[in-house]
Amino acid sequence: MEKRKQRTGSREHFRELHKSTYEALFYYLYSRTADKQLAEDILQEAYILLWEKREELKDLAAVKTFMYITVRNKLMTHNRDSSTHNRLLENAPGIFASSLDDSELIVEAEVVAQVRAAVAKLPSQTRRITLLSLQGYTVDEIAERLSISPNTVKTLKKSAYAQLRTDLAHLRNSWLLFFLFLD
Amino acid sequence: MFALHNTEESLRTANLVYRFIADPASLSDGERAKVEGWIEESESHRQLYEDMVSGRSLERFGHACARTDRKAHQKAVEARLFGFARRRRRLAGMVAGAAAAVIAGLFLTLSGGEQPIHVLPEGSVQAYILTDGDRTIGLGGMDTVINAGTYRAVAGTSAVAFEPRRPGTPEPPQCKTLSVVVPAGGMYSVELEDGTRVQLNSGSSLTFPEFFGDKAREVELSGEGFFEVAPDEARLFTVRTGDMTTRALGTSFNVTAYVDNGTFYSTLVSGITEVSIAGGATETIRPGYSAIYNTGTGNFAVVQADTAEATAWRGGELIFAGMELEDILKTLSRWYDVDYVYTDRALTGRHTFAGKADRQEDLLSILRRLNSLGGPRLEINGRTITVNPS
């Protein structure tokens, strides 16, 4: 049987990097631009650059540092070149951009990404239900979306609650209670 | 100017804040003071902290991420980096799969038309190393040397070996805490820096210091692991699993402590161990015996055990002699990363089975065999097993 070799520099390695960094970076950029397309385009360029530099980045912290600096530089270049967008941000920062400064926004993005990683450790179906709940769907809507019975949704929500409590024992769990047991 | 130093500082703060929220016991006094200082630094920090613990941040983050498709983005970059060839083939497969699912309908019985469900294949990521709860390193996907500053390790497809402590390196509590986490579907072994080998079953994690001190060797287990302890008369080897603690010198033993099972086992294969319950009894265990602790009632007993049965999982086998259906389903859910649901709770605790299953088998064939033995009717929909009245 043919055995696939996986090395640093392999497609699998890239997937790991993308998976463990994308959401936080997207949140950072989207909070600054409120422009999904712009955020995704900047990230594409940044990941290409990351791949060229991967040998120099020894661990995930170095990768993250490189990515935040890169996307921020690209965003500044873009804003300089596109004056209308700049004006939009200046006129309505409360609506289109986060009020947090860069350092605070990185802290928020990284902390929340880790909380979501704890959610991601749940079994697949339970995880899907938990994430849909987080997005505000009701039990019946989730049941319909996933083609399963409302009772199944309720049971799996309860087991998710039990496991998240173990993983995030000290997180104030009012919001967990809220999204898992509302209705 | 916001540059390298500020970004690194923000990432370090994020790490500490996450641990402050999720696992405050893991912080040193200095680290705790640092987080508290950060929170009190400004009104803006106080507000942000409140948002992070109340779920408002999570909601904002969720709304933003719902607008993007991470996998599509990953594939778009992959296409630029590696070309298109494999992507086309996968798309064709997906279309065929989707059509089959539509034709088969929503709720499938086990008639033979479903997609097979397997454990994680050899050569894929089977486990992760977390350092102080962060900095994830995937294990099992490739042969790699991990050089993380203080510790070094060599990882292969089925095991990772940590290099022995060098003179002058910090010992607990100054050094970092590492965890090897094996998700559902995975199986992986760890050789600790003292030479002790631990094989971890699916859905398990082992937490240990980068280096053991001169007086003790202490690790924490969640899930199931088989320990072959390197002899060292001067330093007892201790495995903590909630309220139950197993202490050993040079021995091999199996510990089962899945929190969702409610019963913990410590089964001795060779040597001698001492098992104790927090605030309760301590028993000396001889080979061929098992300490059983019920986490609900607090009952603690030592009984004769079938060590071959207790350690069959190491060879990828599940042997069940009179095992309750729900316990079988719990094991299968960890092996195959699936959920299970009873449509009627009255079906629990009433059906036991005897037989054997193999990790290499497709899940559907195991379920079909269980169905052929009678009892509740098992169905599978996507990755959820449903238990129905027969």
Q: What is the pLDDT of residues B263-276, one digit of tens each?
A: 899 999 999 999 99
What is the number of CB-based contacts under 8 A between chain A and chain B?
Answer: 220
Rounded Cα distance between B336 and B381, Å, is: 14
Token pair of B246 as six digits: 């197993």
Q: Is the pLDDT confidence value at A59 over 80? A: yes
A99-116 average pLDDT score:
87
Q: Indicate the range of B131-140, B281-290, B364-373 predicted with least confidence.
A: B131-140
Give, in degrees to the nearest 5, the angle at Cα A125 between A120 and A126: 60
Q: What percent of chain B has pLDDT over 70?
A: 88
Rounded Cα distance between B317 and B5, Å, is: 51
Rounded Cα distance between B42 and A149, Å, is: 48
- Does pTM surpass 0.80? no
Q: Is the pLDDT confidence value at B346 over 80? A: yes
3-state secondary structure chain A: CCCCCCCCCCHHHHHHHHHHHHHHHHHHHHHHHCCHHHHHHHHHHHHHHHHHHHHHCCCHHHHHHHHHHHHHHHHHHHHHHCHHHHHHHHHCHHHHCCCCCHHHHHHHHHHHHHHHHHHHCCCHHHHHHHHHHHCCCCHHHHHHHHCCCHHHHHHHHHHHHHHHHHHCCCCCCHHHHHHHHCC
Flag if A6 and B141 touch (Cβ within 8 Å): yes
pLDDT at B55: 67
B324-334 average pLDDT score:
90
Burial class (CB in 10 A: 0-12, 13-18, 19+), B378: buried
Rounded Cα distance between B139 and B129, Å, is: 7
B167-175 average pLDDT score:
75
Q: Which of A112, A153, A182 to probe the B interface (max B CBs under 10 A)?
A: A112
Q: Which of B11, B260, B336 to probe the A interface (max A CBs under 10 A)?
A: B11
Closest chain A residue to the Cα of B136, Cα to Cα: A60
B146-170 average pLDDT score:
83
pLDDT at A1: 36
Chain B nearest-CA distance from A84, in A, is: 23
pLDDT at A182: 30
Q: Is the pLDDT confidence value at A154 over 50? A: yes
Closest chain A residue to the Cα of B134, Cα to Cα: A114
pLDDT at B68: 87
Q: Largest Cα–Cα distance of chain B, in whole Å?
A: 70
Q: Which residues contact B358 (CB under 8 A, 6 or more apart)?
A: B316, B317, B318
Chain B nearest-CA distance from A152, in A, is: 6
Q: What is the pLDDT of residues A11-56, one digit of tens each?
A: 888 998 999 899 999 999 998 888 888 899 999 999 999 998 888 8
Q: Is the pLDDT confidence value at B85 over 80? A: no
Flag if A125 and B260 touch (Cβ within 8 Å): no
Is residue B190 within 8 A of residue B162, CB to CB? The reply is: yes
Rounded Cα distance between B231 and B140, Å, is: 28
pLDDT at A8: 59
With tokens 């641990």, the residue in question is B19
Q: Is the pLDDT confidence value at A74 over 50? A: yes
Q: Is the pLDDT confidence value at B87 over 60? A: no
What band does B184 get if pLDDT is binned at 50, 70 and 90? confident
B70-85 average pLDDT score:
82
Q: Is the pLDDT confidence value at B19 over 50? A: yes
Chain B nearest-CA distance from A56, in A, is: 14
Ranked by mean pLDDT, which of A4-8, A14-18, B162-166, B171-175 comes out on top? A14-18
Chain A nearest-CA distance from B311, in A, is: 24
Chain B contact for A181 (CB, 8 A cutoff)? no
Q: Is the complex ipTM higher than 0.85? A: no
Chain A nearest-CA distance from B40, in A, is: 13
What band does A163 get if pLDDT is binned at 50, 70 and 90? low
Flag if B61 and A16 touch (Cβ within 8 Å): no
Q: What average pLDDT is seen over chain B?
A: 82
pLDDT at B149: 67
What band does B22 get if pLDDT is binned at 50, 70 and 90? low
B306-335 average pLDDT score:
87
pLDDT at A57: 86
Q: Is the pLDDT confidence value at A176 over 50? A: no
pLDDT at B35: 94
Q: Is the pLDDT confidence value at B309 over 80? A: yes
What band does B103 get if pLDDT is binned at 50, 70 and 90? very low
B327 vs A119, residue with greater confidence: B327
Is residue B309 within 8 A of residue B254, CB to CB? The reply is: no
Pick from B2, B64, B67: which is nearest to A72 by CB?
Answer: B2
Is residue B217 within 8 A of residue B172, CB to CB? The reply is: no
Q: What is the pLDDT of residues B113-126, one digit of tens each?
A: 456 778 877 767 78
Interface of A with B in 93-152 (CB under 8 A): 99-104, 106-116, 118, 121, 123-126, 131, 134-135, 146-149, 151-152
Q: Which residues contact B139 (CB under 8 A, 6 or more apart)?
A: B125, B126, B127, B128, B129, B155, B160, B180, B188
Q: What is the pLDDT of residues B200-240, one digit of tens each?
A: 999 899 999 999 988 889 999 999 999 999 988 889 999 99
Q: Is the pLDDT confidence value at B179 over 50? A: yes
What band does A180 get if pLDDT is binned at 50, 70 and 90? very low
